[in-house]
Structure 1
Amino acid sequence: MKLKVVILSLSVFAYTGFTAQNIQNNLGSNHGNKFEQLGSILPTPNIYRTASGAPGHGYWQNRADYNITAYLDEDKRNLKGSETVTYYNNSPDELEYIWLQLDENEHSSMRNAGYDTSSVLRPSTTDQQLKVTELPVKDNGYGVILEKVTDASGTPLKYTVNKTMMRIDLPKALKKGEKFVFKVDWNYNISNRMKMGGRGGYENFPEDGNDLYTMTQWYPRMCVYSDFQGWQNHQFTGRGEFALVFGNFKVSMNVPSDHIVGGTGECKNYDQVLTSDQLSRYRKAENASEPIEIVTLDEAKKAEKNHSKQRKTWVFEANDVRDFAWTSSRKFVWDGMHVTIPENNNKVMAMSFYPKEAYGLYRKFSTKAVAHTIKTYSEFTIPYPYPVAQSVEAANGMEYPMICFNFGRTEKDGTYSEGTKNGMLGVIIHEVGHNFFPMIINSDERQWAWMDEGLNTFTEYLTEEKWDNKFPSKRGPAWTIVDYMKLPKDQLEPIMSNSENIVHYGPNAYSKPATGLNILRETIMGRELFDKAFKTYAKRWAFKHPEPADLFRTMEDASGEDLDWFWRGWFYGTDPVDISIDKVTVATPNLDTDPKAATEIKYQVEKPLVNSFEDLSKIRNREDKNIKFYVDQDKDAQDFYYRYDRGQEKVSTKEYISKIDATPPLDAKDKEKFKNITAYQIDFLNKGGLVMPIILEFTFEDGTKLYDKSSAQIWRLNEQKVSKTYYFDKKLKSIQLDPMRETADIDTTNNLWTSNGSGGETSKFQLFKQKQDGSSARGSSNGKVNPMQAAGKS
């Protein structure tokens, strides 16, 4: 049934504020801040994590293996499960308890994380959004119901549930090298994710009365115990994602017999759950270079009409994964094809599951986009190691090992907009790409959203670019982050912020880190250096738990580039890029100026170079009878100046004359050579605060162009203003700063200088021929008489 929408008009006012951190230590200076090394901001290297950014010789991580059975009750929309977990303690510590995540408690009105968010009176709302406030809060019937928690022998274990986390107290401490086996039985009511939100749940299709289930965060999952923070048992609020343990999974899902199931890993009993025709098509798809429908559109439409009461059990296995997710529906069309990863010759089944509502888009693009993604990511990171990669159309976007959920439905007539098509391709690439970040390169998403979303968005951008050179990527190019960087400082926070505490989550967790990495690749480091370093990071931390410092250090270690200034400014700070052309001084050489004539300078020989003030240390050293001065004991060290300093050598005080030679004039050949030279001194201001390379496009009066780039280090001695001088043999028409908009400069109105606007030449500069007599060599007396010469001594 359709819901009636009632609009309520209300009058409101609002106030917001946020203060960004400032990590600079020398704010009173015009230099020494931006290029200060990160130093103590990064954790101290140790045997687990080295100063190079690589895992240390003592690196360890724990592991958890799961054997799970699940029963999907479609009538009650309830999931019942039982799991046996084998937990391996590879840490050097004895563990008295272990922590598990109960993510479904997010939907509970009683057992959610309790992270309240400020709320305001809306100027308008709908009748569905309008809820009468009930106090005390009543149980809404959602969240995990724990039926039994026992050890391997069935003995009950003591446990405590704290919101979305569960602690199991162990009968005895789990020592290094030991394992602990325990069992948990549970159930929960599956939420309508289209109404309640969240990553998992069901979507109902009123037109045909069917549900599409995305079963995610659906079982009690082990928390990570690590060398850098111990138990990662931060509450799940629905935003910050997951920190999970690698292990092996065997999962059996009992569902209605007319459902099609897709899941993490490989199905081990297709011969029992598919029809003979479907199984035959699957075998054909295993060797196909184009997607083949394993479950056809006609079969899916027929299944929609018959709600079977029979049951089937699908069995999946997956090794070396950090999680397991699955999907189930009778609405699914299912297609697949074979793809080989060149780097490791891995043969992968690329597959897609989608309802008829998405057929016009998914049949054309989804599986091919899956294949393109795992191949391209393999080029830039590590070879895709798993046997399966899957995309499921579920009107959302979320990722799990080997399976992800995306959007992309057509209009009812089968047409679609270009925006829908590109959005679908972007989300498929993004979510499939998450197999690499963080499913394999397994960062802590709940703490550092940018380490999976930002790194993945960057690699998504590279993959979109290789899909279609005209693909309208919205995240990655420097110019796309400008609107965010323009926001007032009190509305910004550093990338290095906890996931739960970010106001502008999309720009800060996705766009800004992705843009930063692209600037590093294209503008600062260059592709060759960057790509090698980025692949090194991926290789070092595949199937491990990296932290930000591991990325920062590896990128520098593998490239030979000092990037602390960039991490400090782009990741720890909130300053934007705004470099302006403040002034251009134009000058031409005066070729007809008479050369400087020879000159004479009158001077007296220099006096003894003893200090004018006798400091306390010198006085006390003289008074200390135990101190013997070397020159007082070694007569050979008592030269002319030893005696001169003590008044024992007398030197005339008469005036001497030193001659400075004439400057050589330019000859006719030189004048012809330099007659068209024009000098340009360009003064730049750092108005935004974030240092960046200075990139210039010079356009000359004859229409030709030249380009130059100064590294960001040009700002190291003065972070507020710098100058660059150029000499050209033809006149400039304009100077364009950052012509390709590759530094995310937030104000391009101050990036252009034109000769018309400057008023033309403003001065002359003197030009002489360089003398080659070496009189300016270090230590030379420049022709002057020294005291030894004046005294006739040697």
Structure 2
Amino acid sequence: MKKISLLAISAIVSFSAFAQSKYSNTEAFAPFFYPSAGNEYRSASGEPGPKYWQNRADYNITSKLDTTNHTVTAKVEIMYTNNSPDNLKFLWLQTDQNIYRKDSRATATTTAAGGRWANASFTDGDVITSMSVEEGGKKYTPKYNTADTRTQVWLSNALKSSGGRLKLTIEYSFKVPEYGSDRMGRLNTKNGWIYEIAQWFPRMAVYDDVQGWNLLPYLGQGEFYLEYGDINFNVTAPANMIIVGSGELLNPAECFTAEEAKRYAESKNSDKTVMIRSADEIGKGGISAKKGTTTWRFKIQNARDVAWGASRAFVLDGAKINLPSGKKSLALSAYPVESISNNGWQRSTEMVKGAIEFYSKALFEFPYPAATNVAGIVGGMEYPGIVFCSYKSTGTDLWGVTDHEFGHTWFPMIVGSNERKYAWMDEGFNTYINDLSTANFHNGEFKEQSFFGDPTNQQMVRMVFNDKMDVLLTEPDVIQQRNLGVAAYLKPSLMLHALRNTVLGEKRFDAAFREYINRWAFKHPTPWDFFRTMENVGGEDLSWFWRGWVFNNWKIDQAVQSVKYKDGIPANGATITIENLQQMPMPVTVLVKENNGTQQTITLPVEIWQRGSTYHFDVSTTNPISEVTIDPDKKMYDWDRSNNTWTGK
């Protein structure tokens, strides 16, 4: 999901000094951090256990877009496999279009101020016209009940554990909302409507070893938790429209004209952007002149969702994505002429290619045959192999939203954490990797001195760590709207930077972070799986770190308390006393300068705070000390930097 403007939501806390420490060493370093031991499903080391399981959902979807009435009519066949150790008497589906009903929970809980997820108008949601279950050669119509954005289907016979399979077929339709909670919708341009279609078919809710059925309703701010499988889908629409979708287009020769199909093929082998359908060609032949309807067919494997875009207004271009294994993927961009400007959407494909090539090399190889960026009404939203970004974006903003949405390929499309509960595990982790990608793209072309990421910016620190900020371990729909940009995006990103830069170091952090992705690729990790992996691979007990950053809203405030010479003589050395004034412990780096220009750096581990809030250490000196500074490289997000430095004056 698109990053939220933090300037708009910041609540700056007034400056104050802390004379007395609030630190408790017994609370910070309390034992028994983990609520339970590892088990056969999830290892104590953070790996999937020997009996780890997850259910599977494969989909075949046939759909039709009615551009007169702005409706989608479809049939979905769900092949559901129960790999759990439990027999299932009923199934739960996510019917997300019901969020747009006037009587939905989301409508009832939207604040009076409205906001990004408020609906301007309403639809009838998912209108189900038929449903059937087929198992063991027998077919029947099940009883089912819809409760807001969840639909329960009762089975005649329980679906057997450890591999039981059935086919659930649903015929349904819905009206495409003009503004779909900034995750889907339609935009009217001078050359026609742009449709961005998502959350568009009933999808299986996740049944897991942690909670059984995961049934939090879709309210808007919380995102998604989905099963993996192979998805085949087709969309029939007027023949003069271009459709782009998740995965691989299976029939380009049937969809494009011969010339456009040729350019489409050329783009798959070109490192430079190839124009498949130019702005000048819209309405002047080519696909614009086609009559009747065309059915576009797509396929994606091992994915948790699919989405698509459709318009007769699309400019379409593409280029080759080079992957570390030697495989290739395809970067595509679909956008209206209104999006062409200085550093506008004509650079989108270049950005898609750059982001995905970087993440594939640094983290885990991009798993899909295509990556498509669609310009439309949605500000920024991610789906497997396709993202929706604002048609107004240009320059730094276009890079930022494109990079962020495709960064979500790794969190949560590859690492399938529960977004409905833990926004910090997808938005925050993604924000962190975006920093790395931005520094890399064209040697930092769009890298700017970040107001929010700079540890020396006291305004930022006071915003992130103020007492009214929601802690990271807060469900997204519970987080105050004004706090979402910090609690879901910025603070968890700062947490990972702090873990890398001041606790584990680059080598240990990078190895542990990559191992977490590899262990949980296409699986469902919990926060505990992440904690255990980072500790076991990184080689540290980090319970004190998670307590401060994730479970509490603790602050960092390290101060130099005093400098005393032994026997009052500088040549005999000095004892320096430092203090931890706030609740969060962190390692300490101290720079000591003597008045003759000699200086030394002392690095102290976090364990210095295990017995209390003050720590004394000796330094060898030959001359009077002119300055003692904590965190001289300014890596720490320190609440009060005014007490970081002692001077001989």
Task: State TM-score, norm by structure 1.
Answer: 0.73
SS of equivalent residue, structure 2 residue 477: helix
How far residue 242 of structure 1 moved from its aligned partner, in angstroms, is: 0.6
Select which of 643, 660, 677 maps to 2:571.
677
Contact 1:159 1:168 in 2 (8 A): yes
Alpha-carbon displacement from aligned partner over 1:112-138 (angstroms, at most 9, x marks no partner): 446625547x9xx9xxx999xxxxxxx
Describe the superposition over 1:102-156 as per-residue Cα deviations: whole angstroms up to 9, x where unpaired. 1111111123446625547x9xx9xxx999xxxxxxx943311111111247632
Q: Which amino acid aligns with 1:93?
A: D
Corresponding residue for residue 697 of structure 1: 591
Residue in structure 2 matching 1:455, options 429, 443, 463: 429
Choose which of 174, 185, 206 in structure 2 pairs with 1:188.
Answer: 174
Task: Give the equivalent residue in structure 2 for 1:174.
Answer: 159
Given the alignment, which residue of 505, 508, 514 partners 1:535? 514
Is 1:284 matched up with 2:178? no
Gapped regions of structure 1 (runs ≥ 5): 1-15, 17-26, 132-138, 411-419, 591-675, 757-794
From the superposition, tell whether residues 706 and 294 of structure 1 become closer, same or farther in structure 2 (CA, over 3 Å). Answer: farther
Matches within 5 A, 1:22-421: 30-41=24-35, 43-113=36-106, 116=109, 119=112, 140-152=122-134, 155-176=140-161, 177-193=163-179, 197-205=181-189, 208=190, 210-300=192-282, 302=284, 310-342=292-324, 344-360=325-341, 361-395=343-377, 396-407=379-390, 409=392, 420-421=394-395
Give the gaps of 5 or more residues in structure 2. 1-10, 12-20
Deviation at residue 172 of structure 1 after TM alignment:
0.6
In the alignment, which residue of structure 2 is the partner of 1:491?
468
Q: 1:481 to 1:541 in 2, by over 3 A?
A: farther
**Which one of 407, 414, 429 corresponds to residue 440 of structure 1?**
414
- Give per-residue Cα distances to partners, 1:275-296, cap 9 Å, x unaligned: 1111111111111111111111
Which deviates more from structure 2 when the two are superposed, residues 392-401 or residues 109-118? 109-118
Letter in 2 for 1:160: N
Instruction: Judging by fraction of residues, say which structure has more strand.
Output: 2
Query: Please, what TM-score do these two structures have when normalized by structure 2?
Result: 0.89
Cα distance in structure 2, aligned partners of 1:488 and 1:53: 29
Task: Supply the AA of the counterpart residue of 1:248.
Answer: D
Distance 1:157 1:262 in 2: 34
Contact 2:123–2:177 under 8 Å retained in 1: no
Q: How many residues align?
A: 617
Counterpart of 2:147 in structure 1: which amino acid? N
CA contact (8 A) 1:148 1:184 kept: yes
Q: Confirm or deny: 8 A CA contact 1:113 1:163 kept in the other structure.
A: no
Query: In the TM superposition, what whole-angstrom CA distance separates every residue of 1:658-711 from its partner, at most 9, and x where no partner exists?
Result: xxxxxxxxxxxxxxxxxx736333322322211112122334434454333212
1:525 maps to which of 479, 498, 504? 504
Instruction: Return the letter of the residue paired with 2:383.
Output: Y
Amino acid at match of 2:405: E
Query: In structure 2, how many angstroms separate the alpha carbons of the residues matched to 1:458 and 1:200?
Result: 25
What code does the residue aligned with 1:197 have? S
Alpha carbons of 1:500 and 1:130: their partners in 2 closer, same or farther (altered >3 Å)? Answer: closer
Structure 1 position 441, deviation (Å):
0.7
Match of 1:506 in 2: 485
Q: Could you tell me how far apart the structure 1 residues matched to 2:455 and 2:62 are?
A: 48
Task: Output the amino acid matched with 2:214.
Answer: Q
Change (3 A) 1:335 1:706: farther
Q: Which amino acid aligns with 2:64?
A: Y
Work out whether residues 283 and 289 of structure 2, in 8 Å CA contact, stay in contact via their aligned partners in 1.
no
Q: 1:156 to 1:747 in 2, by over 3 A?
A: same
Of 625, 632, 637, the match for 1:739: 632
Q: Distance in 1 between matches of 2:320 and 2:382?
A: 21
User: Which secondary structure state, in structure 2, belongs to the residue aligned with residue 585 of structure 1?
Assistant: strand
Deviations 1:302-327 (A, max 9, x none): 48997976211100011110001111
Aligned residue for 1:571? 550
Which gives a bigger RCO, structure 1 or 2 (Cα 8 Å, sep 6+)? 2
Equivalent pair of 1:144/1:188 in contact (CA under 8 Å): yes
Task: Letter of the 1:159 partner, please give it.
Answer: Y
CA distance in 2, matches of 1:489, 1:301: 55
AA aligned to 1:110 is D
- Per the TM alignment, residue 300 of structure 1 is displaced from its structure 2 partner at its CA by 3.3
Kindly report which structure 2 residues correspond to 1:525-674, keeping only aligned pairs within 5 A, or say none.
525-587=504-566
Change (3 A) 1:92 1:345: same
Shift of 1:66: 0.7
**Secondary structure of 1:32's match?**
helix
Q: C-alpha displacement at 1:359, in angstroms?
A: 2.2
Call closer, same or farther: CA 1:378–1:729 in 2, change over 3 Å: farther
- Measure how far apart 1:433 and its partner are: 1.0
- In 2 relative to 1, CA 480–521 (structure 1 residues): closer, same or farther, beyond 3 Å? farther
Q: Report if aligned partners of 1:339, 1:350 keep a CA contact under 8 Å in 2.
A: yes
1:429 matched to which residue of 2? 403
The answer to whether the aligner puts 1:752 opposite 2:645 as a matched pair is: yes
* CA-CA distance at 1:721 after TM superposition: 2.1
Deviation at 1:489, TM superposition (A): 5.3
How far off its partner does 1:568 sit? 1.1
Structure 2 counterpart of 1:166, one-letter code? T
Q: Give deviations 1:219-256, integer Å, cap 9, x for gaps.
A: 11111100111011110001111110101111110112
Give the Å deviation of 1:301: 6.2
Is the 8 Å Cα contact of residues 477 and 518 (structure 1) preserved in structure 2? no
Deviations 1:696-753 (A, max 9, x none): 23344344543332122211111x2223332223443322222332121122122122
Q: Aligned with 2:26: secondary structure?
A: coil
DSSP-derived class of the 1:583 partner: strand
User: Closer, same or farther in 2 for the Cα pair 1:204/1:142, shift >3 Å?
Assistant: farther
Which whole-Å CA distance do the structure 1 matches of 2:119 and 2:407 have between them?
38
> Compared with structure 1, are the counterparts of its residues 202 and 303 closer, same or farther at alpha carbon in structure 2 (3 Å cutoff)?
farther
2:620 paired residue among 727, 734, 750:
727
- Between stretches 148-157 and 387-396, larger displacement belongs to 148-157
Pairwise CA distance, 1:477: 5.1
Shift in alpha-carbon separation, 1:117–1:385, aligned structure 2, 3 A: closer
**CA contact under 8 A between 1:458 and 1:476: conserved in structure 2?**
no
**8 Å contact kept, 1:253–1:315:** yes
